[in-house]
């Protein structure tokens, strides 16, 4: 029986990786140690000794019995005992893995541990992807954290081969098939909210493995956590409560559009409403929402799926992405005929979304009358709080800012003479520490621009005016672009100019 522990994955993952001691952590995952406030004090052939803050905890007792049998001795420990033990044992992932690789690398048991620990550590570091890449005589393991790939360790080719075989077993893939790409899924036992989508790809030196971490524990996605200001939240709430029309999230791949839409659906979800989605892929599971995965092989495409959903008496529809004219025409028609439709579009900014719909053959009067709101966004990395320090801007960054007319204009709009005073200001930066793996950044947050078209903008759409004209009209009514929002977050010490420059390059 596969006993699953009701751990609050998200909350636990937010904490620092610490372990009671190495043996204990091998037998009992650190998430369990922290959730149950218990760890293994001793283990010998006669049984096991557990120290726990609350030995009477029924779920803990059940978990321990399930794993280690009935020969358990319990000791009560205090919260202080627990935290002092946790504090003194910061987990060193690289050393642990390299030890496993160098000690008799061929043993099956070590390979199982290497794979298991790598997956768990990727969750702990909130990596979005794990890459395993063969390069001649060795293979590199990299994690994508906050959008950037970081090397975690390298291993000899024979260890890599065994690791790939182990991953294929876990993901139900054919072990002896290495000439064709395969895809599968891993559901790690101790993380019932998190799984991995695994794909293999033949490359020059062997198979490359890429694993996407799918975290289903986004239960409490609040708008403020996404990085929206109170004013922006107010505008969004006013628009998602309308009975029909369209709400568009726009931005390039990896800009957090889907997460934003999920957060909105989460807010709307209640009995008495039929919410249906079409997605490719389904990124998180939302309880109470009918989610459908696009599957072209089964002829389930965005247009055919949307046609089917419309026969299912929906109130709210989310179409994962609009990228062709058939889908865009159908989705906007649904929004005109009494449904609230959420979708994403690949455009650089909010005003361009109207133009994109027109380019996809949606009639101008449909565009102007159905779109309630466009939310355009990017994700910027947040400064690591553990190593944040105030510094003056480096000349390199200062010059880069000066080269960007849009950023200079936004600074001038924020405060007169701000640009000339900029060199005197100090700003937070992350110096780099263990917590952020030396990068100075930890986790990400959105920078947003919200466009709610009014009568004037409706007319501009009907006249097929350019995105720039729409933007200037919107600015007269208080529209703020995402660069302005980004600069606000730089001054608040949340992110850096570097990040704003990098993510808004093509706006």
Q: Supply the minimum distance, in Å, between the C-beta of residue 431 and Zn ion.
A: 7
Residue (384 or 447) nearer to Zn ion, CB: 384
Residues from 11 through 40 that contact Zn ion (CB under 5 A): none
Secondary structure (DSSP) of 244-310: SEEEEEE-STTSSHHHHHHHHHHHH--TT--EEEEESS--S--TTSEEEE-BGGGTB-HHHHHHHHH
| Distance of closest approach, residue 144 Cβ to Zn ion, in angstroms | 18
| Residue (134 or 440) nearer to Zn ion, CB | 440
Whole-angstrom Cα distance, residue 164 to residue 152?
16
Q: Site residues for Zn ion, window 222-251 (CB under 5 A)?
A: none
CB of 324 to Zn ion, least distance (A): 43
Nearest-Å Rg of the Cα atoms of the chain is 26
Here the tokens at position 242 are 């309308």
Q: Give the contact letters, 333-372, x = binds to Zn ion (CB under 5 A), - = no.
A: ----------------------------------------
User: Could you say whether residue 386 binds Zn ion (CB under 5 A)?
Assistant: yes
Closest contact distance (angstroms) between CB of 388 and Zn ion is: 8
* Binding test (CB under 5 A) with Zn ion, winner from 119, 384, 429, 450: 384
Q: Which stretch binds Zn ion (CB under 5 A): 193-201, 217-225, 384-392, 482-490?
A: 384-392
SS3 call for 353: helix
Tell me which residues in 119-158 interact with Zn ion (CB under 5 A).
none
Window 393 to 432, contacts with Zn ion (CB under 5 A): 430
Min CB(188)–Zn ion separation in Å = 27
385 versus 392: smaller Cβ distance to Zn ion: 385
Nearer to Zn ion, 245 or 430 (CB): 430
Contact between 310 and Zn ion per CB under 5 A: no
Tokens 């794979």 belong to 115
Nearer to Zn ion, 36 or 428 (CB): 428
Shortest CB 503 distance to Zn ion, Å: 20
Contact 138, 155 (CB under 8 A): yes
Shortest Cβ 387–Zn ion spacing (Å): 3
Q: Which two three-digit tokens encode residue 385?
A: 């709080």
Q: Does 387 bind Zn ion (CB under 5 A)?
A: yes
Cβ nearer to Zn ion, comparing 28 with 436? 436
Give the number of C-alpha atoms closer than 13 A to the C-alpha of residue 478, restricted to the C-beta side: 5
Task: Return the exposure string of 438-471: e unless at least 16 CB atoms fall within 10 Å of the residue's CB, then b.
Answer: ebbbbebbbbbbbbbbeeebbebbeeebebeebb
Q: How many CB atoms lie within 10 A of CB 222?
A: 11
CB of 481 to Zn ion, least distance (A): 30
Q: Which residue number, 227 or 430, has a Cβ lying nearer to Zn ion? A: 430
- For the bound state, the minimum distance from the C-beta of residue 382 to Zn ion, rounded and expressed in Å, comes to 11
Give 375 or 437: the residue with its C-beta nearer to Zn ion.
437
- The one segment of 202-210, 286-294, 297-305, 387-395 that binds Zn ion by CB under 5 A: 387-395
Quick note: the x/- pattern for Zn ion over 425-444, rule CB under 5 A, is -----x--x-xx--------
Contacts 24+ apart (CB under 8 A), 477-482: 479/350, 479/449, 479/450, 479/451, 480/449, 481/349, 481/406, 481/410, 481/449, 481/507, 482/349, 482/376, 482/377, 482/378, 482/447, 482/448, 482/449, 482/507
- For Zn ion, the closer CB: 105 or 493: 493
- Find the shortest distance in angstroms from Cβ 438 to Zn ion: 8
Say which residue the tokens 């406030």 belong to: 37
Q: At what angle do helices 482-491 and 405-414 cross, to 10 degrees?
A: 60
- Within 319-433, residue ranges assigned H as helices are 325-336, 350-359, 364-370, 395-403, 405-414, 418-421
- Residue whose beta carbon is closest to Zn ion: 384
Candidates 184-192, 305-313, 381-389, 490-498: pick the segment binding Zn ion (CB under 5 A): 381-389
Q: Are 431 and 437 in contact (CB under 8 A)?
A: no
CB nearer Zn ion, residue 387 or residue 410: 387
Q: Which of 391, 308, 322 minimizes the C-alpha distance to 359?
A: 322
Nearest alpha-carbon partner for 497 in 395, 415, 376: 395
- Is residue 142 within 8 A of residue 135, CB to CB? The reply is no
* Shortest distance (Å) from residue 428 CB to Zn ion: 11
Which residues contribute to the site for Zn ion (CB under 5 A)? 384, 386-387, 430, 433, 435-436
């Amino acid at each position: 029986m596969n006993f699953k522990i009701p751990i609050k994955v998200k909350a636990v993952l937010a904490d620092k990786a610490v372990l009671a001691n190495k043996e204990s952590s091998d037998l009992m995952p650190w998430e369990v140690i922290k959730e149950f406030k218990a760890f293994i004090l001793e283990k010998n052939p006669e049984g096991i000794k557990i120290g726990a803050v609350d030995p009477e905890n029924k779920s803990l007792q059940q978990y321990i019995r399930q794993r280690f049998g009935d020969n358990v001795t319990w000791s009560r420990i205090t919260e202080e005992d627990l935290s002092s033990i946790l504090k003194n044992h910061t987990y060193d992932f690289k050393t642990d893995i390299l030890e496993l690789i160098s000690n008799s690398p061929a043993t099956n048991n070590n390979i199982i541990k290497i794979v298991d620990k790598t997956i768990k550590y990727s969750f702990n570091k909130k990596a979005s992807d794990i890459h395993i890449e063969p390069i001649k005589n060795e293979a590199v393991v990299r994690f994508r954290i906050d959008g950037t790939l970081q090397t975690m360790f390298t291993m000899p080719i024979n260890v890599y081969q065994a690791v790939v075989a182990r991953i294929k077993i876990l993901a139900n893939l054919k072990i002896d098939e290495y000439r064709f790409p395969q895809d599968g899924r891993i559901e790690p036992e101790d993380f019932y909210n998190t799984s991995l989508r695994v794909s293999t790809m033949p490359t020059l030196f062997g198979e490359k493995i890429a694993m996407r971490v799918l975290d289903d524990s986004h239960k409490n996605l609040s708008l403020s956590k996404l990085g929206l200001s109170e004013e922006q939240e107010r505008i969004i709430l006013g628009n998602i409560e309308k009975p029909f029309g369209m709400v568009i999230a726009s931005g390039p791949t990896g800009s957090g559009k889907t997460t934003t839409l999920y957060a909105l659906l989460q807010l709307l979800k209640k009995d008495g409403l039929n919410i249906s989605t079409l997605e490719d892929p389904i990124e998180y599971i939302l309880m109470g929402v009918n989610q459908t995965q696009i599957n072209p092989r089964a002829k389930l495409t965005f247009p055919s799926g949307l046609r089917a959903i419309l026969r299912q008496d929906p109130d709210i529809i989310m179409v994962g992405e609009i990228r062709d004219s058939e889908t865009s025409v159908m989705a906007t028609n649904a929004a005109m005929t009494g449904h609230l439709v959420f979708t994403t579009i690949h455009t650089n900014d909010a005003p361009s979304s109207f133009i994109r719909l027109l380019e996809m053959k949606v009639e101008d009067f449909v565009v102007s009358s159905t779109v309630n709101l466009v939310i355009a966004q990017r994700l910027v990395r947040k400064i690591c709080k553990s190593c944040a320090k105030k510094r003056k801007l480096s000349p390199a960054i200062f010059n880069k800012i000066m080269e960007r007319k849009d950023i200079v204009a936004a600074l001038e709009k924020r405060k007169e003479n701000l640009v000339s005073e900029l060199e005197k200001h100090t700003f937070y930066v992350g110096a780099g520490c263990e917590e952020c793996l030396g990068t100075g950044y930890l986790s990400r947050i959105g920078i947003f621009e919200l466009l709610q078209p009014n009568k004037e903008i409706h007319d501009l759409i009907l006249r097929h005016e350019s995105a720039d004209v729409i933007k200037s009209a919107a600015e007269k009514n208080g529209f703020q672009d995402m660069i302005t929002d980004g600069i606000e977050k730089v001054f608040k010490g949340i992110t850096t100019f570097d990040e704003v420059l990098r993510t808004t390059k093509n706006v």
